[in-house]
Structure 1
Amino acid sequence: MRIMSMTVAMLALSSASAMAQTPPDVSDLIGARAAGGETQLEARGYRFVTPNVVRDSKWSFWWSDRQRQCISVTTTDGRYAAIGAIPAANCNAAVPQAPARPSAQRDAISLVCIGSGSGPAAQSNSGYRYNSKSRKFEPEFGTTLGREGFSSDLEIDISGGVGRIHPSGKLVSPIHSGGSDGWWPIADLMMTPDRISGSYRMNGMNKPRFDYNRRTRIIRVRAATEFTGRCEEQ
């Protein structure tokens, strides 16, 4: 009776997984040969958890740390017949979990970013203009506001949900206030597994905002002066 009950439960779960929504990152694998499908799942960050066989179908769980996602894969006649997202608890029981760290350590991060940008700059112009009265070309001088490119770096320190930023070079406005030893406190700090964002007050008129993509390691600063760089997490 116990074996029959387990078989019935597995059949029900297999049918449910077939009706479950297929995650976009693996939807193209439906119909693929099992051997090639397993290689693709591993290449996309999934780990094999456990297999089961229900009549003519092979049914298995896969877990993705990157997506924080558990999927059920049904294989029939050597091909992937269905892939469905299922509750993470189905995989977590079989996947070793990293020990939890104190919240202060979990939120601690240090970034060193190097890149380039552009900012407003006065540009002197000179040339000649024809004077219809004197019927001569006369020298003319002027100043226009343009943009100037530069290379620079910045640092970010975050601990316990509080952050500070250290811009360098052209990222520091000629007129600035509110900093301490080159560091500015970060306001509106937001941290997720994928992104870190916030702003800082360079002066009353200049409040740059930054956005850091933790997957690509690219940071962008947007204000009168713009900057794009690549960061290393320390």
Structure 2
Amino acid sequence: MIAIIQHLYPLYTLEIQPTNTHLELNTHAQQAIDRLPFIYDAKTYKDFLDVWGTHVILETTVGGMHEKQILVKDCILQSNYFTDGLSETELELRLKTDILSPTSVNDNYYENRRRIIVDHRIGGDPSVNNTDQWKQSLDDKPALLKINKYISWPDLINNSTIKANLQIAITYRIKSAADVRTDEIDQVEQQKLAELFVQRSAQGVIGHGSRGPVPPYWEIIKEFILQNEQRCPEVRR
């Protein structure tokens, strides 16, 4: 399994204050809205969303973030079949220590069963390794951490026809993005399934452990290829 750990270093919040409870668009945004046709044209509305997005952001939090993605072996956790593993609480504690502490977690059992595959910082100067110095560099190069408030474009439009057209375009765009994401997940699942069916080499071993004065002995007696389950013969009754 993959654990994603993120530690945020927020600096401040940016907010657009509406004028007289009404959000006033700038000249460029208003001109783009005014050019939208009353008769729905998919390409024209797609071009608008490509440039202006589906929503207007009203409030954001900026600063920096330290992220780690850690690949953890499933056998690290306790189960009905393996009682010497870590509990979920113990694993969570070690994952937090992994990202917050500059030193080792000091747990060989945990460290031998995890591998850090991503370790990066967002915002500030990424070339700085020292955490305190990196935090100081966030003032010059803050990153977007969180979108706190936003409003959909149709909610800003008075004309009912343009409003409806924008809603159609946004709904289609969101559905298309969801379909792409579903296809990507299906491809990953198919790849995992295909890996289960590949041929693997194996070795037959015979031997014994220590028997009094007799030392342990092991011998490879045969090398062979494991077939996938689709090649297994039918069970004869």
TM-score bucket of the superposed structures, by smaller chain: under 0.3
More helix per residue:
2
More strand per residue:
1
State the structure with bigger RCO (CA 8 A, min sep 6), 1 or 2.
2
